[in-house]
């Protein structure tokens, strides 16, 4: 007689995949409904990462099941438990304690009132100490911002492998371009949606907008910043740099992202230049999170986006980023970039 084999318990990821497939949805359908990338859904279903409680509720609503069914835990049927000897001892002890408190209250009512203590003489108030000015980033005053940052930072973003290809087919620039192309053309403020906030944040993370060079009136504030961003950011057309950054590659990047911005090749800061090659000395940026604060259509048809910059945990706002941009042939082009730091 062969022993009975017990199947392994169904994990949360397998349950999400099963319920999704039973309802005829693809991973992309679920990702689009939750404003996350398809890779994030794939990681959940392969039990590589776990969605937070807010996301679990959204998944359950999309799959039309309750949270208990999604998490594989059914509520236990209520049963009245007969009190055992220990429970009776606890009840009796509580009764004795209550009686003692009643007697203590009666004794306090019948006891003579104590003499009033003399009122101390008034003393001058202590000298006010003014807070010192600190250059540390200020704490976010809105807990919703902190929670939103933590949720967005949990979403995976595409990364570039050594051969220059993205690890997923969800390039955040393409997602954001699709959002911006669908916006109304009338000048004025544009209502913010979850999709806009999510895609702006993911785009800012993947393309390291914390390093984006300042640019105004078609000129870069510092050429070194432009070189550093081109070297560090995983641009969509990126190929392995090797040990140098070619002037041709820089020309391609500037034309794609900044249009007709004016510049002259040459050494800048720690970037030396010789024979059409830059020898890099990259300065990585600090990990940051960005929340879209406002979006507006200007009279000339371009868009102005203001993003608040936070630390990774969302507790501190460190500055803001203002972008003037437009779309050209399915590509985001920056007309103006302004960074503002909080002190």
Q: Give the model confidence (pLDDT) of 262-291 as tens digits.
A: 999 999 988 999 999 998 777 777 778 888
Between residues 191 and 40, which one has the greater pLDDT?
191
Q: Please state the domain count of the chain.
A: 2
What backbone torsions phi and psi does residue 140 show, to the nearest 5 degrees? -65, 130
CA distances to 177, 184, 185, 292, 329 from 181, in Å: 6, 8, 9, 17, 11
Which residues form the domain of 36? 12-71
Q: If pLDDT is split at 50, 70 and 90, which confidence band does 10 have?
A: confident
Q: Does residue 188 sit in the same domain as residue 316?
A: yes
Give the mean pLDDT of 310-323: 85
Q: Does residue 291 sit in the same domain as residue 154?
A: yes
Q: Does residue 155 sit in the same domain as residue 282?
A: yes
Q: What is the pLDDT of residue 98?
A: 53
The residue out of 23, 39, 71 marking a domain boundary is 71
Q: What is the pLDDT of residue 126?
A: 47
Domain annotation covers residue 94: no
Give the mean pLDDT of 114-140: 43
Q: What is the pLDDT of residue 34?
A: 79
Q: What is the pLDDT of residue 234?
A: 66
Nearest residue to 200 (alpha-carbon basis) of 74, 80, 309, 77: 309
What is the per-residue pLDDT across 249-259, written as a single tens digit (0 to 9) for each?
889 889 989 99
Q: Does residue 271 sit in the same domain as residue 169?
A: yes
CATH of the domain at 35: 1.10.260.40
Q: What is the pTM of this model?
A: 0.56
Nearest residue to 305 (alpha-carbon basis) of 270, 274, 328, 335: 335
| Statement: residue 194 has pLDDT above 50 | yes
The residue out of 52, 71, 90 marking a domain boundary is 71
CA distances to 178, 190, 328 from 196, in Å: 10, 10, 19
| Statement: residue 141 has pLDDT above 50 | no
Percent of the chain scored above 90 by pLDDT? 29
Q: If pLDDT is split at 50, 70 and 90, which confidence band does 80 have?
A: very low
Domain annotation covers residue 101: no
What is the per-residue pLDDT across 52-70, written as a single tens digit (0 to 9) for each?
888 888 899 899 999 888 8
CA distances to 83, 125, 230, 240 from 165, in Å: 66, 68, 16, 10
Dist. CA 245–CA 279, nearest whole Å: 7
Domain annotation covers residue 110: no
**Residue corresponding to tokens 């509720």:** 57
Q: If pLDDT is split at 50, 70 and 90, which confidence band does 42 have?
A: confident
Domain annotation covers residue 148: yes
Q: Does residue 158 sit in the same domain as residue 49?
A: no
Containing 155, the helix (H) or strand (E) segment is none
Nearest residue to 184 (alpha-carbon basis) of 327, 329, 330, 296: 296
Q: Does residue 158 sit in the same domain as residue 303?
A: yes
Between residues 235 and 58, which one has the greater pLDDT?
58
Domain annotation covers residue 125: no
| Statement: residue 137 has pLDDT above 90 | no
Q: Does residue 168 sit in the same domain as residue 44?
A: no
Domain annotation covers residue 103: no
Dist. CA 301–CA 171, nearest whole Å: 25
Helices (H), 163-222: 172-181, 194-206
Containing 254, the helix (H) or strand (E) segment is helix 247-258
What value does the mean pLDDT of the chain take? Answer: 75
Q: If pLDDT is split at 50, 70 and 90, which confidence band does 81 have?
A: very low
Tokens of 255: 């034309």
């Amino acid at each position: 007689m062969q022993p009975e084999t017990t199947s392994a318990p169904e994990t949360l990821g397998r349950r999400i995949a099963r319920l999704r497939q039973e309802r005829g949805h693809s991973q992309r359908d679920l990702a689009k409904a939750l404003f996350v990338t398809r890779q994030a859904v794939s990681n959940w279903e392969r039990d590589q990462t776990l969605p937070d409680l807010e996301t679990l509720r959204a998944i359950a609503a999309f799959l039309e099941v309750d949270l208990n069914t999604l998490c594989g835990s059914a509520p236990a049927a209520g049963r009245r438990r007969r009190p055992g000897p220990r429970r009776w001892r606890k009840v009796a002890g509580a009764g004795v304690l209550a009686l003692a408190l009643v007697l203590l209250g009666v004794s306090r009512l019948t006891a003579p009132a104590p003499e009033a203590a003399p009122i101390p003489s008034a003393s001058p108030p202590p000298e006010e100490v003014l807070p010192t000015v600190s250059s540390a980033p200020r704490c976010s005053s809105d807990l919703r911002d902190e929670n939103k940052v933590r949720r967005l930072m949990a979403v995976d973003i595409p990364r570039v492998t050594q051969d220059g290809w993205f690890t997923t087919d969800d390039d955040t620039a393409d997602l954001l371009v699709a959002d911006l192309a669908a916006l109304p053309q009338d000048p004025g403020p544009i209502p913010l949606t979850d999709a806009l906030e999510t895609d702006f944040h993911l785009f800012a993370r993947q393309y390291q907008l914390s390093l984006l060079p300042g640019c105004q009136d078609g000129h870069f504030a510092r050429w070194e910043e432009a070189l550093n961003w081109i070297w560090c950011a995983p641009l969509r057309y990126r190929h392995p740099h090797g040990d140098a950054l070619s002037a041709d590659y820089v020309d391609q990047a500037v034309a794609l992202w900044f249009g007709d911005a004016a510049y002259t090749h040459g050494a800048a800061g720690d970037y030396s230049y010789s024979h059409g090659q830059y020898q890099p000395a990259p300065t990585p940026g600090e990990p940051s999170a960005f929340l879209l604060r406002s979006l507006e259509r200007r009279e000339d048809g371009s868009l102005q986006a203001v993003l608040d910059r936070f630390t990774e945990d969302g507790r501190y706002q460190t500055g803001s980023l203002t972008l003037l941009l437009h779309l050209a042939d399915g590509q985001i082009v920056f007309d103006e970039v302004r960074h503002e730091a909080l002190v």
